Amino acid sequence: MLTDDTLREGMQTPGFAMSYDEKIELAKLISSAGIERALVAYPPAHKSEFDVTAAIVDGKYFQQVFGLGRTVKEDIDMINATGANISLHLPFKLDNLDPIYENIKYACTLGKLVEVGFVDIDMFSVDQITKFCLRMEELNVDVVQLPDTRGKMNPAAIKNVFEAARKATNIKIEAHCHNDYGMAVANTVSAISAGADYIDTTIFATGERNGIADSITLADYLMKNNLEKSLDIKGIRKAYNYMYNLILKKIGVNFFTDNLPIYGNNSGIQTAGTHVAYGNAFTEKNYSVNVYTGKKMIMEILDNNNVAYDKEKIGRIVSMIKDESAIRGEALPVKDIIKIADGAI
């Protein structure tokens, strides 16, 4: 039931990034703790993400390995080439869904497990969500992920959605609850009680803005309620110790207050370029830059700092920024982004 998302969602933690070697080591520790299902990277984002996904698949650390991408054929083919199962997220702005459905249908012909995320479920009615689940079942999708992407829902609302989806369809359902208002663990427990098949968690509740549900908290809950039998809490602690040292090294001890809901600063910071591209859904204007960045994010950073750049070269600038972040295994400060942009002109 428990799906580790630290290796992917955790990479979206403000001020944070991991190198290839650090991801592999953390994957080994998570696997050794009895966690059998993991979303490990966003292969279309950068070569380093592609390579680490392929290595984790080859290492057979998990029974099920997923790579994340958009519902476009280019991303689907790239994830498939790593050997991983295919996790896709719908656009944050839904217009014409017909080509998206065709791409999902294509993904389901590749012989891999396919899961599809219906993002921002707080913005849709229960009827719309259940109809989407039924459509995914018709397309032979294996898992529907129902993310509270903005962390705005409460346990009662989550229960209502998951119970309706469970009643309407036989497709497997996955919960992915963000922690902007401190509801991630409670919402995840509510999803479990309403029939969720899988739940997403991260070590130290890391992730975009101030993260998602905490791994060891949910692992303990699952074990004590006989919902999981293979998890090793001592092993999970070892993974936490490793992640703790990475956080201290790359961010500092302030992370643990900054990541608190409401009080902390992280809820106003974005890392994912896909989120910045849809400002109608995500309005935060503070950014953390690593291999998950995108053109719109970098252009806004350069514009906000009055840096002149050639828009024809923005793709090259973004590639150079991603390369540098991957080499260092770190999020890049603004001064380094400006330096890279100046060098590309």
| Count of CA atoms in the C-beta half-sphere (13 A) of 155 | 10
Partners of 69 in the β-ladder: 88
Q: What is the model's pLDDT at position 276?
A: 44
Q: What is the model's pLDDT at position 271?
A: 79
- My answer on whether 56 and 174 are in the same domain is yes
Quote the domain boundaries for residue 272: 268-344
Give the distance, in angstroms, between the CA of residue 215 and the centroid of all CA atoms in the same chain. 14
Q: What is the CA radius of gyration of the chain?
A: 19
Q: Are the C-beta atoms of residues 231 and 33 closer than 8 Å to each other? A: yes
Q: Decide if 233 is inside a domain.
A: yes
In angstroms, the CA 119 to CA 200 distance is 14
pLDDT digits (tens, 9 = 90+) for 253-282: 999 999 999 999 998 897 754 444 433 433
Encoded tokens for 118: 């219906």
Q: What is the model's pLDDT at position 194?
A: 98
Residue spans of the chain under pLDDT 70? 272-285, 344-345
In angstroms, the CA 81 to CA 78 distance is 5
Domain ends where: 219, 250, 281? 250
| Number of structural domains the chain divides into | 2
Is the C-alpha dihedral spanning 76, 135, 280, 10 positive or negative?
Answer: negative
Q: Decide if 261 is inside a domain.
A: no
Q: Are the C-beta atoms of residues 315 and 341 closer than 8 Å to each other? A: no
Tokens 């397309």 -> residue: 139
Q: What is the model's pLDDT at position 287?
A: 86
- My answer on whether 143 and 234 are in the same domain is yes
Tokens 């990479």 -> residue: 11
Q: Decide if 257 is inside a domain.
A: no
Q: Decide if 260 is inside a domain.
A: no
- My answer on whether 328 and 186 are in the same domain is no
- Residue 221 makes CB contacts below 8 A (sequence gap 6+) with 189, 227
In angstroms, the CA 6 to CA 202 distance is 4
Q: What is the model's pLDDT at position 279?
A: 38
pLDDT digits (tens, 9 = 90+) for 281-302: 334 458 889 999 999 999 999 9
- My answer on whether 119 and 192 are in the same domain is yes
- My answer on whether 218 and 282 are in the same domain is no
Nearest C-alpha neighbor of 22 from the set 225, 246, 173, 213: 246
Q: What is the model's pLDDT at position 345?
A: 47
- My answer on whether 111 and 16 are in the same domain is yes
Q: Are the C-beta atoms of residues 9 and 89 closer than 8 Å to each other? A: no
- My answer on whether 281 and 180 are in the same domain is no
Encoded tokens for 23: 């991801």
Burial 256-285 (b: 16+ CB within 10 A, else e): eebbebeebbbbebbbbbbbbbbeeebebe
Give the 3-state DSSP-derived string for the chain, with helices as H, strands as E and coil as C.
CEEECCCCHHHHCCCCCCCHHHHHHHHHHHHHCCCCEEEEECHHHCHHHHHHHHHHHHHCCCCEEEEEEECCHHHHHHHHHHCCEEEEECCCCCCCCHHHHHHHHHHCCCCCCEEEECCCHHHCCHHHHHHHHHHHHHCCCCEEEEEECCCCCCHHHHHHHHHHHHHHCCCEEEEEEECCCCCHHHHHHHHHHCCCCEEEEEHHHCCCCCCECEHHHHHHHHHHCCCCCCCCHHHHHHHHHHHHHHHHHHCCCCHHHHCCCCCCCHHHEECCHHHHCCCCCCCCCEECECCCCCHHHHHHHHHHCCCCCCHHHHHHHHHHHHHHHHHHCCCECHHHHHHHHHHHC
- My answer on whether 278 and 204 are in the same domain is no
Q: Decide if 263 is inside a domain.
A: no
In angstroms, the CA 345 to CA 325 distance is 19
- My answer on whether 100 and 164 are in the same domain is yes
Q: What is the CATH number of the domain that holds 222?
A: 3.20.20.70
- My answer on whether 174 and 28 are in the same domain is yes
In angstroms, the CA 278 to CA 272 distance is 11
Burial 54-92 (b: 16+ CB within 10 A, else e): bbbbeeebbebbbbbbbbeeebbebbbebebbbbbbbbb
- My answer on whether 110 and 20 are in the same domain is yes
Q: Decide if 219 is inside a domain.
A: yes
